Amino acid sequence: MATAKKNKNIPEIDPAAIDSKAAAEKAVAELREAVRYHDYRYYVLDEPVIADAQYDLLFENLNLLEEKFALVSPDSPTQQVAGEPRQELGTVNHPLPMLSLKAAYDEKEIRYFDQKCRNKLGAKGVEYVVEPKYDGLSIELIYENGSLVTAATRGDGETGEDVTANVKTIRALPLSLLASQGLSVPTRLVVRGEIYMPLDRFNELNRQRGKEGEQPFANPRNAAAGSVRQLDPKITAQRTLHLFLYEIPLCEGCDIKSHWQALEAMPKWGLPVNRTMQFLVKGIDHALEYHGKMIDKRDELNFEIDGVVIKINDFKAREKLGRRQRDPRWAIAYKFEPRQALTRVKEIIVNVGRTGTPHPRGPAGAGADRWCGSKARLAAQPGAGGRKGYPHRRHRDGGAGG
Return contacts of 39-47, CB within 8 angstroms, 24+ apart.
39/77, 39/171, 39/172, 39/174, 39/270, 40/174, 40/178, 40/270, 43/171, 43/172, 43/272, 44/172, 44/267, 44/270, 44/271, 44/272, 44/273, 45/267
pLDDT at 197 exceeding the cut of 70: yes
- Summarised one tens digit per residue, pLDDT across range 22-64 is 999 999 999 999 988 888 887 667 678 888 778 888 988 998 9
Catalytically annotated residues: 133
- Summarised one tens digit per residue, pLDDT across range 140-169 is 999 999 999 999 999 889 999 999 999 999
Better-scored residue on pLDDT, 370 or 268: 268
- Summarised one tens digit per residue, pLDDT across range 306-360 is 999 999 999 999 999 999 888 999 999 999 987 765 667 777 777 766 666 776 6
pLDDT at 189 exceeding the cut of 90: yes
| Average pLDDT rounded to a whole number, residues 197-217 | 94
Residue percentage of the chain with pLDDT more than 90: 62
Q: Give the pLDDT of residue 139.
A: 97
> What is the spatial distance between Cα 26 and Cα 24, in angstroms, rounded to a whole number?
5
Q: Give the pLDDT of residue 381.
A: 38
Residue 262 binned pLDDT confidence (cut-offs 50, 70, 90) = very high
Q: Give the pLDDT of residue 344.
A: 72
- Summarised one tens digit per residue, pLDDT across range 64-82 is 999 899 998 888 888 765 4
> What is the spatial distance between Cα 131 and Cα 141, in angstroms, rounded to a whole number?
20
Q: Give the pLDDT of residue 341.
A: 59
| Average pLDDT rounded to a whole number, residues 233-251 | 94
pLDDT at 384 exceeding the cut of 50: no
Q: Which of 18-32, 76-90, 110-124, 229-243 has the lowest mean pLDDT?
A: 76-90
Strand partners, 130: 279, 310
| Superfamily designation of domain 104-335 | DNA ligase/mRNA capping enzyme (3.30.470.30)
| Average pLDDT rounded to a whole number, residues 192-197 | 97
Q: Give the pLDDT of residue 371.
A: 39
pTM over 0.85? The answer is no
Residue ranges per structural domain of the chain = 15-73, 104-335, 340-395
pLDDT at 243 exceeding the cut of 90: yes
> What is the spatial distance between Cα 254 and Cα 108, in angstroms, rounded to a whole number?
38
pLDDT at 400 exceeding the cut of 70: no
Which class in CATH covers the domain with range 15-73?
A: mainly alpha
Q: Give the pLDDT of residue 391.
A: 33
